[in-house]
Amino acid sequence: MQKSALTRREFLYQSGSAVLAAAAALSIPGCLPGSRSKHAADITLNYLGRKPNIIFILADDLGYGDIGCYGQKMIKTPNIDRMAAEGVRFTQAYAGTAVCAPSRCCLMTGMDNGHTTIRGNISPAVPLKPEDITVAEVLKSAGYKTRIIGKWGLGLENSPGTPNKKGFDEFFGYINQTLAHNYYPETLWRNNEKIVIEENLSGKKGTYSHDLFEKEALDFISRHKSEPFFLYLSLTLPHANNELGTKTGNGMEVPDYGPYAKENWPDPAKGYAAMITRMDDCVGKVLAELKTRGIDDNTIVFFTGDNGAGGADAGGYDPKFFNSSGPLRGIKRDLYEGGIREPMIARWPGHIKAGTTSDQIWAFWDFLPTAADIADVKAPAGIDGISMLPALLGKPQQDHEYLYWELHEKGKFSQAVRMGDWKAVRLDIDKPIELYDLKNDLGETKNVADQHPKIVAEMAEIMKTARTESPLWPIKEKS
């Protein structure tokens, strides 16, 4: 088959990438695109003439209260806690929405999910479009080596949304997010090739996929220690194996229960805790590898989750057992705080002040412009995100006027808006707007909509205007 001609956009990206990679290798700042912001000028090319490395570690279905430094008392997370002690812990950081694929689409594209191509979990999966520019494409144009390891979920094989078509030089993991429920897969993808996991054939459970992802991540860091890289470590822990949960009542699939084996807990709770501690161990190994390779102080590492903790109907684990949402209301598939507010930690020795806590409000769509600012490259025009580099560095930060979310689940269309300390939630198109004062009611227990009709009216207007129509996710008025 003859290879199709490059589009103008693909030509510009590939040509620009080659030129900029050469410029980066030669440490010629004048060849880098965009004018430097005041903060980017302070950190770009600061380490032996190299741009900073960027690692983004994403957990899957992690509750706000599941990490020790966010109040968890029963699950051990010493490495993530140490990462927070050596960096900054954000208390008001938000996912893209309350389920996997659309949340990750916001992360990759810098758009809130009132504007993204992918706004919900549907089958067959909707892929990213060729015109959807990802953070990987932006960083690749600045000379970065780019890789995703783990769960993709933004375009199946042969679609325009595969990782290798969206700026990632290397991909290893699950391209289909539903198949990512199975931790002992018979096949995974390496770039555009499906590879067989021999140890898992015929129902055997010989190789745990997370352990492969950890090994691949450490190898990538080692191989690219001498050039700027972006690693998107998109873990599947602690998401349940939903199908196993339906079959057996326990979908928290893990090789062993580790330090929790002898606890007098339900097995799904033991499994959930073991998954999180196993993930924490992986985070510790990544940080240790950076030190071993001598690039610790030239690498910024982010850690967060894609949405709130899953419900007991998926894997048998009841999120109330460990108080997974902490002080927040709701879980995955809720636009209350427990479904979208996530732990967010960033560590960057010598740049981010150790042991700090920030109440800066930001969301997944801010990552793309933040990464672009760190790399000193222009972010695409027209995105919803704002660079949070100033907040990371403890500097004055521009705020959003508001944050907007929508959710298309179980035949309902729900929306939420965060504006200052006000939070509005509408559970369906025909439901009234609820209003909460998060400063005084973090748990969203007191609906004060009747007391603030002007605020409610403003929120209603935002819900109308903060989104574009999508033929894939139409709004159906209720009769």
**Which CATH number, 3.10.20.30, 3.40.190.10, 3.40.630.30, 3.30.1120.10, labels domain 410-465?**
3.30.1120.10
Choose among 231, 239, 119: nearest CA to 178: 239
Asked if 95 and 364 count as a contact pair (C-beta separation under 8 A), the reply is yes
Among positive and negative, which fits the CA dihedral 406, 417, 335, 357? positive
Which tokens in the block code for residue 212?
Answer: 């492969």
What digits encode the pLDDT tens for the residues 369-388?
A: 999 999 999 999 999 999 99
Cβ contacts of 169 within 8 Å, gap of 6 or more: 140, 145, 146, 147
C-alpha distance from residue 161 to each of 115, 127, 316, 335, 347 (Å): 17, 5, 33, 27, 30
Q: Tell me the C-alpha distance between 269 and 267, whole Å.
A: 5
Choose among 187, 299, 313: nearest CA to 246: 313
C-alpha distance from residue 8 to each of 34, 56, 132, 383 (Å): 20, 30, 14, 21
Cβ contacts of 59 within 8 Å, gap of 6 or more: 235, 237, 238, 279, 303, 304, 305, 306
Rounded mean pLDDT for each run of 10 residues along the chain, 479 residues in total = 35 38 34 47 58 98 98 98 98 98 98 96 88 98 98 96 98 96 98 98 97 98 97 98 96 98 98 98 98 98 98 94 98 98 98 98 98 97 98 97 96 96 97 98 98 98 96 81
C-alpha distance from residue 208 to each of 171, 255, 278 (Å): 18, 7, 11
Cβ contacts of 471 within 8 Å, gap of 6 or more: none
The per-residue pLDDT for 39 is 65
CB atoms near residue 101 (< 10 Å) = 25
Beta partners for 294?
A: none
Cβ burial, residue 464 (10 Å; 0-12/13-18/19+): exposed
Beta partners for 405?
A: 416
Q: Tell me the C-alpha distance between 71 and 89, whole Å.
A: 12
Q: Tell me the C-alpha distance between 442 and 426, whole Å.
A: 17
Ranges of each domain in the chain? 8-401, 410-465
Which tokens in the block code for residue 437?
Answer: 């004062």
Q: Tell me the C-alpha distance between 180 and 209, whole Å.
A: 9
Beta partners for 145?
A: 229
Asked if 236 and 150 count as a contact pair (C-beta separation under 8 A), the reply is yes
Q: Tell me the C-alpha distance between 158 and 123, whole Å.
A: 16
Asked if 303 and 81 count as a contact pair (C-beta separation under 8 A), the reply is no
3-state SS, one letter per residue, for the chain: CCCCCCCHHHHHHHHHHHHHHHHHHCCCHHHCCCCCCHHHHHHCCCECCECCEEEEEEECCCCCCCCHHHCCCCCCCHHHHHHHHCCEEEEEEECCCCCHHHHHHHHHHCCCCCCCCCCCCCCCCCCCCCCCCCHHHHHHHCCCEEEEEEECCCCCCCCCCCHHHCCCCEEEEECCCCHHHCCCCCEEEECCEEEECHHHHHHCCCCCHHHHHHHHHHHHHHHCCCCCEEEEEECCCCCCCHHHHHHHCCCCCCCCCHHHCCCCCCHHHHHHHHHHHHHHHHHHHHHHHHHHCCCHHHEEEEEEECCCCCCHHHHCCCCCCCCCCCCCCCCCCCCCHHHHEEEEEEECCCCCCCCEEECCCEEHHHHHHHHHHHHCCCCCCCCCCCCCHHHHCCCCCCCCCCEEEEEEECCEEEEEEEECCEEEEECCCCCCCEEEECCCCCCCCCCCHHHCHHHHHHHHHHHHHCCCCCCCCCCCCCC
**Model pTM score:** 0.91
Asked if 308 and 298 count as a contact pair (C-beta separation under 8 A), the reply is no
Architecture of the domain whose range is 8-401: 3-Layer(aba) Sandwich (3.40)
Which tokens in the block code for residue 327?
Answer: 């002080």
Q: Which amino acid is at 326?
A: G
Placement of tokens 């298309």 in the chain: 408
